[in-house]
Amino acid sequence: MTQYLITFRTLTQAQRAARLLERAGYTVTIRRAPAKLSVSGCGYAAALRKRAFEAVELLRGHGLWTGKLFRLEENGDYREVLP
Amino acid sequence: MIYLDSAATSLRKPVSVERAVLQAMRGMASPGRGGHEAALRAAETVYACREEAAALFHVSDPSRIVFTLNATHALNIALRSLVRPGMRVLISGYEHNAVTRPLHALGAEILVAGRRLFSPDTLLDEWESALGQAELAVCTQVSNVFGYILPIDRIAALCREKGVKLVVDASQAAGILPVEMDALGAAFIAMPGHKGLLGPQGTGLLLCGEEGEPLLYGGSGAESRLQTMPGDLPEHLEAGTQNVCGIAGLLAGLRYVRGQGTAHIFAHEQKLLSAARSQLGQSGAELFCGPEGTQSGVLSLRYPGLDCEELAARLAERGVCVRAGLHCAPLAHESAGTLDTGTLRLSFSPFLSEGELREGLGILLGAAES
């Protein structure tokens, strides 16, 4: 199944976004962002399996969209799918 | 032991608080310091505590709840963020050293208004005139010495009207009276976790209406390549490893307070206050009491010719815990005219029964005569 990561600068930002998504019916896991996706170092990500673009819209609508959206590719790399 | 010193630290906590601290100690590491289960469990607890505090104190965004070591730490962050040398800062006559010492250290010009005890209307009149000269206001919601409830809603309204930022010290109010960030519109509200919120010592909260400036710099578990603190709250103001065990206990305390309701807790303490006033009324003690609605579950008293510290020592020998002296608030004593003697302070909690109080006061009456 496809895996998406929405990245955040801080843990609390990720938690706040995850709460909103969970209330909207998403299954979300908070994790450390892969090092190569974390420009400033030690970033966080909300991982989800589906409806990622809708999730981004929801976060935008609540002023919680501060990061980027990545999709896990078959070769194990993450590719940015939304700027 | 009869414990009448909850204004310093609430000794009896809900069982859920003890349990939460133990669970955290056994199974929680540090939020933001790893992606493993123990770190994530800690992160979830810490965030849940932010949410619980945001709900209780009407803060719309849980990330505006910053954890501190205590109210003093929280006040230092707030004042360091807002005060510049020479700034004119208006305070009430009932502020704690946790407010006045940082203001002195920061070089503020301190203006004091509202010294008359249990007189909210006089305070408001004086503040209305004094706010014109002030660039910042700092006010306690309840005096830690006398339990005097200051009219914080109306003070906040005056500050908004005059365009003066307000910092509220809610140390004696949190968990006992409504403390509502959205209604007050304060720049910051500071409070400890170990008093009315029934959490462990070493916990405190700063509710942030503004971004603030860090008091401490260091690890935050985020944006580690940068040599500045993360720009976003709460990490912006939270350097170093969090007191996760304390925060877990504070979460349980906050849930207890929300479950009971501050109105219920306040009503219980009012009943105790009334009982104490009645039992001590004819004892020869000078009681510092206010009209209805102006005093929390804190009662200061003194006996003519009897050293309050000596009396407290006699009570300690008999198993009654009270606090005597200046209570880290010389300004409050100066305002009330008790600076030379200090007072003996009795303070109540949701877990103190009327029977225990009566027994403790009986011992007090005996100790004062001996």
pLDDT digits over B207-227, tens only? Answer: 999 999 999 999 999 999 999
Lowest mean pLDDT among A33-42, B339-348, B354-363: A33-42
At B106, the pLDDT band (50, 70, 90 cuts) reads very high
DSSP, collapsed to helix, strand or coil, labels residue B131 as helix
pLDDT at A82 over 80: no
Region B109-131 average pLDDT: 98
Q: What's the CA gap between B78 and B173, in Å, rounded?
A: 18
Region B50-67 average pLDDT: 98
Of B225, B233, B234, the CB nearest to A40: B225
Q: What's the CA gap between B283 and B301, in Å, rounded?
A: 11
Q: Which CATH architecture has domain A4-77?
A: 2-Layer Sandwich (3.30)
pLDDT at res. B134: 98
B342: left (phi over 0), alpha (psi -120 to 50) or beta: left
Proportion of chain A above pLDDT 70, given as a percent: 98
CB A7 within 8 A of CB A70: yes
Helix intervals (H) in B185-341: 244-260, 262-280, 308-317, 330-336
Q: What's the CA gap between B114 and B121, in Å, rounded?
A: 9
* Pairing status of strand B136-140 against strand B88-91: parallel
CB B70 within 8 A of CB B76: no
Lowest mean pLDDT among B31-40, B134-143, B318-327: B31-40
pLDDT at res. B231: 94
Query: What tokens appear for B279 in the block?
Result: 């039992």
pLDDT at res. B242: 96
Q: What's the CA gap between B43 and B34, in Å, rounded?
A: 10
Give residue for tokens 């200090």.
B342
> pLDDT, tens digit, for every residue of B152-196?
999 999 999 999 999 999 999 999 999 999 999 999 999 999 999
pLDDT at res. B358: 98
Find chain A residues with C-beta within 8 A of B235's C-beta: 10-12
pLDDT at A83 over 70: no
Q: What's the CA gap between B364 and B370, in Å, rounded?
A: 10
Domain boundaries, chain A: 4-77
Contact call for B222 and A10, based on CB within 8 A: yes
Please name every residue paired with B169 in a beta bridge, in sequence order, or none if there are none. Answer: B140, B190
Q: Is A63 on the interface with B (CB under 8 A)?
A: no
> pLDDT, tens digit, for every residue of B268-292?
999 999 999 999 998 999 999 999 9
Polymer length of chain B: 370
Task: Write out the DSSP string of B1-53.
Answer: -EE-BTTT------HHHHHHHHHHHHH---TTS-SSHHHHHHHHHHHHHHHHH
Find chain B residues with C-beta within 8 A of A12's C-beta: 47, 50, 62-63, 232-235
Region A51-74 average pLDDT: 94
Cα B35 to chain centroid distance, Å, stands at 35
B159 Cβ contact list (under 8 Å, min separation 6)? B131, B137, B165, B166
Q: What's the CA gap between B151 and B174, in Å, rounded?
A: 15
Of A10, A16, A30, the CB nearest to B230: A10
Q: Determine the residue among B63, B67, B238, B247 to mutate to test chain A binding: the one whose Cβ has the most chain A Cβ atoms within 10 Å.
A: B63
Of B241, B238, B242, B239, nearest to B250 by C-alpha is B242
Contact call for B223 and A15, based on CB within 8 A: no
Is the ipTM higher than 0.90? The answer is yes
Lowest mean pLDDT among A38-47, B69-78, B88-97, B141-150: A38-47
> pLDDT, tens digit, for every residue of B292-337?
999 999 999 999 999 999 999 999 999 999 999 999 999 999 999 9
**pTM of the complete model beyond 0.90:** yes
pLDDT at B368 over 90: yes
Domains of chain B: 2-11+261-369 (3.90.1150.10), 15-260 (3.40.640.10)
Helices (H) and strands (E) in chain B, counts: 12, 13
- Amino acid letter, residue B140: T
pLDDT at res. B303: 96
